[in-house]
Structure 1
Amino acid sequence: MRAWLEVDLDTVRRNLEIVRRSVGTGVEVIAVVKADAYGMGIKEISRVLDGGNVAMFAVISLDEARKVREASSKPVLIMGYLEPKEIVSAIEEGYVLSLFDNELAAIYERLAARLERTARVHLKVDTGLNRLGVSSGEAVDLLVNQRHYPHIRIEAIFSHLIKSTNRPSNERQLQKIRELLLTIQSRCELLPVHLVNSGALADFSDGYFDAVRIGLAFSGVDETILPGLEPCLRAKSVIVQVRTIDKGEGVSYDHLFIAAREMKVAVVAIGYAEGYSQALSGKAEVVVQGQRVKVLGKICMNFIVIDVTGLDVRRGEEVVLVGSQTGPNGQKAEVHVSELAKWCGLRHHEVVTRLGTSLPRDYYGGR
C-alpha cells in the first residue's frame, strides 16, 4: 500500500452551502473545477456541486469540460486556449468559450459560421493582470459591433483579480469594471459580470456582481476564506519500516539531519513524486497515533523518514500527512494544508493540486 487521498463529499456540499449563504440571493455560483477539481476529482466533485445547484462550471480544457458533462448538464465555461479543431468540437458540443482577443473573435466567427452554429462566449477583460483579455476599449468595440459577428453570442463579461486578498488592488480593478459598464450601458445592453474568486469572498462583496467563481473554497483547506469552511480531504500513507539509529548517524540523502541521540525512526511511503514537495525537507510534521512528529532529513522521491522515538509503531501503521487523526488514548492532532503551504513556500492551491493529482483517491459521503 502506498499513499492515498481521502475526500469527504458531504463536507464539499456543506462548504458550498456556506459559500451560498455568504454571497446571498441574487448572486450565482460558478464552480471552478480545473486541474481535476484542484486534485479532488473533477467528476465526483462536479456531481456533488451539481446537486447543490451551482449555475455553471468553469474549466481550462475541452477534456475537462467533457468530464464535467458526464456529471452535470449545467453550462461549462472553458477559460483556456483551444486549438481550432477543439474550438469546432466545443461549439458543436455546446460549451461556452472564453473570448480574450480580437483575433480569437474572428476565429470563433469563422468556425461557427462554417458549422452553422452559434458560439456562446464570455468576454474576458484584462483589468490589470496582463495575462489574457481584451482592453476595455476593445471590449466596448466588440459589444457595440456584434453585428459583425452574427455567429457569436456574448453572454457575460469576466475578469481575474490580481491578488484577491488585497482590497486596494481589488478596488482598482473593480473601478475599471464599473467604468467599462458605464460605457457599455450608454451604447448597448448590459451583460452579467463575474469577477470575485474564493480569496475575495470574505472581504469584497462589492465585486460580487451577478456571479462569483469558486474553486478552492469548496475544499475548505484555506480557513481564512470564510468562517465555517472545513477541510474535505486528508492525505495518508503507511509506515513501511521501523529502525533505530545511533547518535551521530545521518538520515536520508546528503545527511541533512544528524541524530543528536539514539532515535527510533520510521520510513513512510510518500515522496515528491507523489506530490509531497522536497521543499518540506527539515520543516514538515506528520501525525502518528494522534501525535505530531517531525519529518527528518531530505524528502526522497518515494519515501520520507519520521521521528517515532517513544512511540510503539509497526509496519503498516497509518500516517496522516494532511488532516487530523485521533490516537489510541484519545489524543488528537492535525496538520493543516496552510502549514504545508507555509513550510514549502507554496499557495494552498498548489499543495492540494500536487497531492491530489498524484495520489489515488477514496471518497466518502455524497452518494
Structure 2
Amino acid sequence: MLIDRTYAKVHLDNLLYNYNQAKKKVGKKTKVLAVVKADAYGHGSVKCAKHLEINGCENFAVASLTEAIELRENGITKDILIFGRTRVENYIYLSKYDLIQTVYSLEYAEALNQCKQKIRYHINIDTGMSRFGLYLHAPRDLMPVINEIKAIKKLPNLKYEGIYTHFANSDEADREFCDNQYKLFQLLIDEMNHLNIETGIKHVANSGAIVSHPDKYLDMVRFGIGLYGYPHDRMPIDLKPVMEVYSHVTSTRYIKKDDTVSYGRLYSPEENEKIATIAIGYADGYNRLLTNKDYLVYQNKKLPVIGRVCMDAIMVKVEEVDLKDGEEVEIFGFNKPLEYMCKLLNTIPYEILCNVSKRVPRLYD
C-alpha cells in the first residue's frame, strides 16, 4: 500500500481482544453482536468483520443495506442485522443476501411483506429514545404495541427472529431513565410470554450497558464503540484502542516575531520560532475546531498546533525537537489519547474515528 502523507494503523489483535473481553464479561449464555456500521466506525468494516468471524463471531450489525451487502460480497457469512430502514425498491436484496431487517411499524412490515420473498426481521421498540420503533414510553402503551406485534407476526412472508430496544443514556452514572426503559421492555416481554407470543432473541444492552448494567444482558448484547477500545470512563473492563493515526512533516521553516500563520492570521509568535507543516487537514478528518488548541507527538515531545487548520495541512511549533522534513508524527494513538481531542471538541470518540476520511489509508496488523 502506498503511504505518502497521513495513514492509520488498525490493530486487529486489539479488536479481537476487546471482543473477547465483552464475551468474558457477559458470559456464555449471552451472544455478542459486533457493530460494524459506518465502516466499523472508520476502522474498515470488511477487514474487521473478517477478523472477528474467523475468530468465532456469529453476529454483526450495520446501519444500511449497502453496508450489509458489502460484507456479504466480501465473504462474511454470519448473521447481519440492519438497524436502518431499507427502501421499498431494495427489499428483494434482503432475501437475496440473507439479511435481517429491523422493523419499526406495522405499516413498514406490511410493505416488506409485499416483496413476496422470505425476509428475516427483528422488531425495534421505542422505550424512550424517540428515534424509531413501536412506541412504548409508558405502561399504557403496552396493549397497542402487543396488538401491532401480533399483526406483524401474522404476515406470511416475514420470518420473526428477535426484538430489541435502544438505551438513551446507559453510559451515564444516573441509572433511572435506563432502568425505566428496561422495565418497559421487560413488561412487554412478560406480556408476550403470558400471551404465548414468541419473543425470539431479546437484546437491549449496548457498550455502556455491558459494563454498567449487567442485569440487562438478556440473550444478546450489541458491542459498538467498546469493540474499538472506547469509552474508558467508568468502565471496569480492560479495552485497547484499535486505531492510531500518523502523519508526516511536509516542511520546516523559521518564522519571525510578528509573522502570522495560516488562514485568518490567528497565530503570531512573540519571538522567532521554528515551525513545521504536517500533511493532515480537515479533508483527512482533522477537525478545523482544533485550531490553536491541539498538539501532536514526536519522540514523546508535544508539538502545539498553531494557526488555522487547513484542508490538507496543519502547522505546529517544533522549538524543542530536531524535526526534519519527511519525519513521522502521531496525531492520536498510544502516546496521545483520543480522549484529549474529544474534550477539546466537546464530542465523543465515535465522531472522530468515523471522520477519519477515506483518503487516509488503513494499515492492518
- The 3-state SS of whatever aligns with 2:297 is strand
Per-residue deviation, 1:202: 1.3
| Partners of 1:198 and 1:213 within 8 A in 2 | yes
Residue ranges of structure 2 left out of the alignment (5+ in a row) = 137-141
1:234 to 222, 239, 244: 244
Larger CA deviation: 137-146 vs 255-264? 137-146
Per-residue deviation, 1:18: 0.9
Q: What is the distance in 2 between the residues matched to 1:54 and 1:219?
A: 15
Q: What is the distance in 1 between the residues matched to 2:75 and 2:176?
A: 38
List 4+ stretches of structure 1 deviating above 6 A. none
Per-residue deviation, 1:182: 1.5
- Closer/same/farther in 2, CA of residues 147 and 249 from structure 1, 3 Å limit: closer
What's 1:180 paired with? 188
Q: What is the distance in 2 between the residues matched to 1:109 and 1:151?
A: 5
- Closer/same/farther in 2, CA of residues 168 and 356 from structure 1, 3 Å limit: farther
Residue ranges of structure 1 left out of the alignment (5+ in a row) = 325-333
Q: What is the distance in 1 between the residues matched to 2:308 and 2:58?
A: 45
- Closer/same/farther in 2, CA of residues 221 and 246 from structure 1, 3 Å limit: farther
* Amino acid paired to 1:143: I
- The 3-state SS of whatever aligns with 1:40 is coil
Q: What is the distance in 1 between the residues matched to 2:316 and 2:219?
A: 49
| Partners of 1:46 and 1:71 within 8 A in 2 | no
Q: What is the distance in 1 between the residues matched to 2:153 and 2:326?
A: 67
Q: Does 1:344 align with 2:345?
A: yes
Per-residue deviation, 1:226: 4.7
| Partners of 1:2 and 1:269 within 8 A in 2 | yes
- The 3-state SS of whatever aligns with 1:163 is coil
Q: Does 1:310 align with 2:320?
A: yes
Q: CA RMSD in A?
A: 1.5
- The 3-state SS of whatever aligns with 1:355 is coil
| Partners of 1:36 and 1:357 within 8 A in 2 | no
1:258 to 268, 286, 300: 268
Percent of aligned pairs sharing the same letter: 29
Per-residue deviation, 1:65: 0.7
Q: Does 1:89 align with 2:89?
A: no
2:217 to 208, 215, 234: 208
- Closer/same/farther in 2, CA of residues 338 and 358 from structure 1, 3 Å limit: farther
Q: What is the distance in 2 between the residues matched to 1:82 and 1:178?
A: 28
Q: Does 1:29 align with 2:39?
A: no
TM-score, normalised to structure 1's length? 0.92
Deviations 1:198-253 (A, max 9, x none): 12221111111111111211211432345321111110100001011112222111
Q: What is the distance in 1 between the residues matched to 2:357 and 2:48?
A: 13
1:55-204 equivalences in 2 (<5 Å): 55-69=58-72, 70-111=74-115, 113=116, 117-136=117-136, 137=142, 138-146=144-152, 148-166=154-172, 167-187=175-195, 188-204=197-213
* Amino acid paired to 1:94: D
TM-score, normalised to structure 2's length? 0.92
* Amino acid paired to 2:181: Q
Per-residue deviation, 1:359: 1.5
Q: How many residues align?
A: 351
